[in-house]
Amino acid sequence: MRAWLLQKSGDRHPGEILREYLEKGEHLIVPGVFNPLVGIMARRTGFKAIYISGAAFSASLGLPDLGLFTLSELVEFTSSVVKASGLPAIVDADTGFGEALNVVRTVRELESAGAAAIQLEDQVLPKKCGHLSGKRLVPTEEMVQKIKAAKAVSKHSLIIARTDARGVYGMEEALQRARAYVEAGADIIFPEALTSQEEFATFARELNGVPLLANMTEFGKTPYIPAKTFFELGYQIVIFPVTTLRIALKAVQNALTTLKESGTQQSILDQMLTRQELYDLINYYDYETFDQQLTKETPKSESHEQQYS
């Protein structure tokens, strides 16, 4: 049965579930999802958590990853993904949509939408993809204020502090910022765009005991490192933020080319979910059965003439 049919008002907040995973020492491979249906697929595949990427969400709106979507758009999207998937979602809130006071509202809104963890970064708005050059950072003290504001209002959601300092000022500055963010109350530290396995090892060694998140994105500054290796280095969460979007868009591009050139989809049917597979994914027949049960259980009302005669 679909997740929202199973949920009850007494269910734990997803943030509490994610926190429990971390406290138990679990290692999480976390795929990015770019719509609610992919969130369902992630759950069906066996993942325990999902990632809502600012870059993927921007791209799905036809926008570049420059912090152009609004808080209300992100909140609505987060709510739909969480309800559909039933999984704890790590939500990329970019720079928090403003200063410390803005972060307060950002955290409250995203927590109400079901975000298990809310990620904030120390770039200047408009921000850039973490694996591009030319980034600019806010002072450490400003990011510390944002983290403190986030922790002051968060009841359930974990706060992830991402630092982009490695690509701007170097590893030592990244480590100094990370320590300051931990002291400010961040639950998880996310060092962005490290350039070697050795750097990831150094970061984990220097922040021993602090929950760490690694970003294994494609076509960036980080070499391809298996999740198992990250876990051995001391990272508990490894995200793959844009993988599903990139693979889906490539498939759509190929399908559109085929349609344009041949005028038929017959040659690519084996690359599609069948109607039955899609219906199974969205629990189509469960909805029908539920509706039929309601109809059987509801007494037939009197006719209009009988009621008002």
Q: What is the DSSP-derived secondary structure letter of residue 192?
A: T
pLDDT of residue 131: 86
The answer on pLDDT for 181 being more than 60 is yes
Chain segment 98-155, per-residue pLDDT in tens: 999 999 999 999 999 999 999 999 999 888 888 878 889 999 999 999 999 999 999 9
Phi, psi (deg, nearest 5) at residue 151 = -70, -30
Q: How far apart are CA 131 and CA 223, in angstroms?
A: 12
CB 117 within 8 A of CB 188: yes
pLDDT of residue 11: 80
pLDDT of residue 303: 45
Instruction: Please state which of the ranges 116-125, 173-182, 220-229, 282-291 shows the lowest mean pLDDT.
Output: 282-291
Domain boundaries, the chain: 10-241, 250-296
If pLDDT is split at 50, 70 and 90, which confidence band does 6 have? very low
| DSSP conformation letters of 216-277 | --SSSSS----HHHHHHHT-SEEEETTHHHHHHHHHHHHHHHHHHHHS--GGGGGGS--HHH
CB 143 within 8 A of CB 116: no
In this structure, the strands spanning 89-92 and 50-52 are parallel
Residue 254 structure tokens: 């190929």
Place of tokens 């490290």: 194
* Check whether domain 10-241 has CATH 3.20.20.60, yes or no: yes
pLDDT of residue 40: 97
The answer on pLDDT for 199 being more than 50 is yes
Chain segment 60-112, per-residue pLDDT in tens: 999 999 999 999 999 999 999 999 999 999 999 999 999 999 999 999 999 99
pLDDT of residue 9: 44
pLDDT of residue 300: 61
Chain segment 233-261, per-residue pLDDT in tens: 999 999 999 999 999 999 999 999 999 99
If pLDDT is split at 50, 70 and 90, which confidence band does 291 have? confident
Residues 37-54, mean pLDDT to the nearest whole number = 98
**Can you give the pTM of this predicted structure?**
0.92
- Average of per-residue pLDDT values in the chain: 93
Give alpha helix (H) positions in the chain: 3-6, 14-23, 36-45, 54-60, 71-85, 100-112, 140-153, 171-184, 197-206, 227-233, 243-262, 275-281, 284-297, 304-308
If pLDDT is split at 50, 70 and 90, which confidence band does 51 have? very high
Residue 89 structure tokens: 């979602």
Peptide bond into 126 cis (omega under 30): yes
pLDDT of residue 301: 58
Residues 168-178, mean pLDDT to the nearest whole number = 97
